[in-house]
Structures are given as C-alpha cells and as structure tokens.
Chain A
Amino acid sequence: MREARFMGTVTAMAMHDMQNVLAIIRESAGLVGDLLEINKNTPFKHRDALERAVGHITRHVERGKGILEAMGRLAHAPDDNQLDHSDLAACCRAVVQLTERLAHMKNAEVRLAGPDRGIPVGVGTLPAMTALFLGLSHLFGLPGPDGRVVNVVALARDGAAVARLCLDGLALEPGAVAGLDEALRGTGARPAAAEGCLELSFPLAGPRD
C-alpha cells in the first residue's frame, strides 16, 4: 500500500500540473476564438483554418479533462477514505475513460451506458477498478471479429452492486468467464456470465457515518 500511495501522490501532483497546462491552453484558444468573433466582419484569408484549429483545441481539452478526471480517481484510490468503500458507477466511468486507448489498440470500443447514479460498494476504489479493468481486458481478449463494442453499466440489483459488461451483438457463453474467478481473487468482485454479458458483482456498502 505504501507503493500505491507513492504512485497516487506523484500521479496527483503531475495531474495538477496537467490541469494547469490544459487551463492555459483552453483560455488561450478561447481568447483567439473571442478575437475572431469580435472581428468577424473583418476579411481574413485564413479565418476558417483558425476557427477549425480553435475548435480542435477546445474539443481535445475537453477530452484531456475527462482523462484527468479518471486519472484523479485512480490517483486518489489509495487514500484512507477509499480503502474499504467506493462508488461503483464512478469507478466504471473512470475505467472506461482510461481503457479507451487499450480498446482502440484491440480494434474495439468501450462505452459507458446507463444512468450516472452513485452506487456505493463495500470494496475499495483500487480493487474495484482493478476488477473492472481485468473484466474489460478479458472481453477484449476473447476470440472474435474486430470492431467489438463493450457497453459498461453499473447497477444495484437484488442486494448487490453489479457492473455489466456487454458486447454489442455478441452473447457470452457461460464458459467464457472461465479463469476470471482466479484473476479477480482479492478484488471483492465475483464474475458470472448472465444474459450474454459479463457481470461483476460487488457487495453493496452498508450505511456510513
């Protein structure tokens, strides 16, 4: 845990710097956009290209903001107040964001589905995110055609919290989760194939002070 805390602290500090970098880029691009708007009636040969560039910068700053938010959850996972409980929906959101690149490298796509409502679980943020990551990696590694899409949704059902990982247009066989039990040992998650999806069940958190 000491090493995890070190990683978290260093990552959080680097993230803070990156937030400032993004904030400067965003305000600078915004200023250029403001000036283009103020001078919209002044002929300018490269206006379209500049407006497009401002649009690209603004969109990618938003993208970076999402990645930093997810990294923030990971960086703060070893904090004392997240060792034995977490929000499964927030963990799903963060892991989906952080695995976009991995999915892309596997010619796959990962999407967050369902309502954005907090689901408190009695498992720490680090093991919960680890379980979700392993579940997604398992689905990416299954044999099948390229271009698969994995939809991730967190829900509370029958006294448990469940993360459902469903492949678009492909129903999982019950045997498709073989070996995952062992991989998830110690994370607090139990895997099962249900209704063609991979389900990871976590204990719901009890009331907290």
Chain B
Amino acid sequence: MDVKDWKILLVDDEVEFVSTLAERLELRGMSPRLAHDGESALKAVAQDPPQVMVLDVMMPGMKGLDVLRRVKESHPGVQVILLTGQGKTRDGIEGMKLGAFFYMMKPLDLDELIAKLGEAVAAGGGA
C-alpha cells in the first residue's frame, strides 16, 4: 500500500509538536489526522477508524493508556503506537500488554516512526 493511502491518527496534547510532525509526514506523502485529547481521539476513531494511531501516553484528562484500552475494545484492528517519555518504559510495557503495536520515546526519530507506521499498516491495521 502506498504511503498516501495510510490512514493515520496522531494524538498528542502538545499542539506544536503534533502539527509539526504532521507537516513532516505530509511532506512524505501522508495525510495524518490530528486529535489533541483522548475524547477527541475516540470520536475520530468512531467516525473513521485509522489503520494506525500514534498516541501520547501523558495527556491531561483521559490518559493515553485509557484511550488505548477503549480503542482496543471498540476497534481491535486499529494498531496503536504509543509515545512515552524517557524513564517511562513501564508505561510502554503496560501498553504492549494492553495490545499496543509498539512504543517509542520522545523526542522521536522520524525515520523509525515511519518504519513502524509501515509495519503497523502491513500488520493489518484497521477497524
């Protein structure tokens, strides 16, 4: 599948981070959608399930791991890549137990993220 057909949802409350990340993915042919909190992310998934969701663990309001749990209940086919902080490996491991596809630490390595997006899509990401 061509990258332009990848359905990606980026979820992070750090607006400048996630919008700049989206711009960089757009320069590479992708068209990610954005959400800035857990509730909006769940709505976006319900309206049009992405193949892959890139989800920050530490957000105000609904926490990333709670969003992951809800998404995996309602749309088990959606692959989730978690973004955790340095020293927060436990969150990543907990997320993997809940069904996350992978976890990465901020600041991100963009090439690694794109490689993991590709793997998640190939793994059959979708509703």
- Residues in chain A within 8 A of chain B (CB atoms): 12, 15-16, 19-20, 22-28, 30-31, 34-35, 38, 61, 65, 68-69, 71-73, 75-76
Contact = CB atoms under 8 A, between A and B. Distances in A.
B32 to A, nearest CB: 13
A16 B24 CA distance: 23
Contacts of A25: 107
A68 B110 CA distance: 19
25 contacts: A12-B87, A15-B87, A16-B58, A20-B14, A20-B106, A23-B14, A23-B17, A23-B106, A23-B107, A23-B108, A24-B14, A24-B16, A24-B17, A26-B108, A27-B17, A27-B21, A27-B107, A28-B20, A31-B20, A31-B27, A34-B24, A68-B87, A71-B86, A72-B87, A76-B87
Interface of B: 14, 16-17, 20-21, 23-24, 27, 58, 85-88, 105-108, 110
Given A12-B87, A27-B110, 8 more contacts: A15-B85, A15-B87, A19-B86, A19-B106, A25-B107, A31-B24, A61-B107, A71-B87
A38 B24 CA distance: 12
Contacts of B85: 15-16, 19, 72
Contacts of A71: 86-87
B121 to A, nearest CB: 22
A20 B17 contact: yes
A182 B23 CA distance: 57
A72 B108 contact: no
A191 B107 CA distance: 38
A75 B85 CA distance: 13
B2 to A, nearest CB: 19
A27 B58 CA distance: 19
A71 B87 CA distance: 8
Contacts of A73: 87
A78 to B, nearest CB: 13
B3 to A, nearest CB: 15
Contacts of B16: 24, 28
B52 to A, nearest CB: 18
> Shortest 10 CB-CB distances between A and B: which pairs?
A72-B87, A27-B20, A23-B107, A26-B107, A69-B86, A23-B106, A72-B86, A22-B107, A68-B86, A24-B17
